[in-house]
Structure 1
Amino acid sequence: MTHFYPTIQAEARFVSQLPTPVDSTAVAGSFFLVFFMFFLIASVVHRRDQREVEQLEADREFLERIWQINSNLER
């Protein structure tokens, strides 16, 4: 019976090298987490860009008022 030991050991090594089955819920959860993080980052970037646009519009309106006041003073 000792002569079968190396064969069993070789089979055990072969079986340990086989890929383990992947749980589909773990894969789905990972994809959900990745997409959730993507949309979270995209919404933060969009919100920041929106604030910058609003600030630029406010600056433009302020400069237009200054330009009008300056034009009125020159007359």
Structure 2
Amino acid sequence: MSQTPASIADQALELLRATHERINNMRVLFNAIIKDQKHGKSHDIEELANLGGFLGYDWANYVDSEVEKMQEALDVAEVTQ
């Protein structure tokens, strides 16, 4: 089933909203690393940094996949108009 440009735009906006939420989560994570380094004698820095690396890698792959799907849908929508 072909998607309309409006539905693709809605998907893009939802992806941007979700990305904003993930970026905020990363901000909280980096603040936790700073606090652990200052107050926790750096016991959890490596685990927190590994978590941040995983989350960044995972989200980047997800966003790449979603952008590719939206581009393909836009290409189809342009041909059918």
TM (norm. structure 2) is 0.45
Largest Rg, 1 or 2 = 1
Larger RCO of the pair (alpha carbons < 8 Å, separation 6+): 2
